Amino acid sequence: MTSLLDRPASHRSADLTLRRGATRVLLDNWAATGTVPSRTLYPHQWSWDSAFIAIGLRHLSARRAQRELESLFTAQWGDGRVPHIVFNASVPNGAYFPSPDFWRSSTAGATAGAPTLRETSGIIQPPVHALAAWLTHEADTEESRRRDFLPRLYPRLVAWHNYLSDSRDLGGGGLAAIVHPWEPGMDNSPCWDAPLARVTPAAPATFRRADLDHGHPADRPTDLDYGRYVQLAVEYRDAGYDDRAARPSFALEDPCVNALLIASELALAKIATQVGEGATVHTQRADRLTDALVSRLWDDEAGMFLARDLTSDTLIRERSVAGLVPLIAPGLPAELVDRLVSTLDGPHFRADATDLVPSYDLAGPVFDPTRYWRGPAWFNTAWLVERGLRTHGRHTHADRIRSALLRTAGATQFAEYVDPTTGEGRGARAFSWTAALTLDLLTTQEAHR
């Protein structure tokens, strides 16, 4: 696989250097059957990380990208859920918290069909997987067909989407709900502050944070927030990970999660056609999801989508990048696309110094440029916004974001996230999805030249 470093690339030396650096990150972070996000902070396989990683890996080795997704789905539960962490049994429990002995998936999740031979978490992450699978197939259709990649993955993806659309429609409005702040992937977003305030935190003595061994406390969630995360996970685990029986004290409809479900349903329609199944069921579900997204989560005053707190049945009046990700849905009304682009260009999300997209409102009351998801710019969400802009023909705006991402990825050694006001790298370095999405943007940039 080291020969991937020598593959032909752009004649521009800066692009070649960036490509080689990104390739090296992905080679170094490969762990037998999947890729870890970071060798230090995140030593296991994460769900939406693997989807983004596959999107980049497909430009190096379509087969390895296929294996990335396949290895994740071997840990799928019987009820269809794809857990947010698949644990590497060779990593000691103390290296990451919450560890397998906390989640107890094979026992606590037995009724929900948790695998008996693989330990996982019991919660989920956003459904980028069908989109990643389709893009991986397109990268090398011959290899995909030779390995029956899509026919083998299609029923698993269908079960995953059915779980989200059925078991997780907790609000009854047709959208998938999240039951833990870790599920939307934007763990520490200010959007969760008000709902989390209802949660009594677990006692500090009941857990030990391994993340502070590798991350600066100023960049990470506070101990109070972490105690609440632990408490919610304990409650869900002790309810057998049963979405209906759990009666979660934290339940929200998130615009990013549901926008990605729309994009992945449309990708699943393409996959269905390839494997001889009907595509209509997927396009119709995407249409229903789009209608529900607009009716339940659009806020005209904010000019973007907001999360809905299902406990109070009200929108949470905090702006985050999650509310811009619905640009990835091609069926959005044109007037909403115009408003989203205006919001992206306005004082809440336009970081003039860097052209990066912050994770939270620049003018928000608790904006913090360095603390996890409370302001820093992330490469995966900006990649989604960039793709969404192109979906609606807004190529000038997309070009600006792409250039900013490529410039910053190289300058920060593929940082986990960055300060949007200065471009300074924060969190882990040599971060896998940063490298993978850099490869994707480099390749699509060359295709457009």
Decide if 138 is catalytic: no
The distance from CA 6 to its chain's CA centroid, rounded to whole angstroms, is 30
| Cα distance between residue 133 and residue 129, in whole Å | 6
Decide if 416 is catalytic: yes
Sequence-distant (6+) residues with CB within 8 A of 433 are: 37, 49, 52, 53, 56, 379, 380
Sequence-distant (6+) residues with CB within 8 A of 277 are: 154
Q: Which residue is it, tokens 């974001």?
A: 401
Please calculate the CA angle 90-94-97 and round it to the nearest 5 degrees: 105
Candidates 79, 187, 254, 355; catalytic one: 187
State both tokens at 50. 């693997």
Element (H, E) at 34: strand 34-35
Distances in whole angstroms, Cα of residue 252 to Cα of each of 11, 190, 323, 429: 48, 13, 14, 31
Candidates 68, 183, 254, 416; catalytic one: 416
State both tokens at 1. 């696989």
Rg over CA atoms, the chain: 20
Q: Which residue is it, tokens 């003018």?
A: 363
Residues labelled catalytic:
187, 416
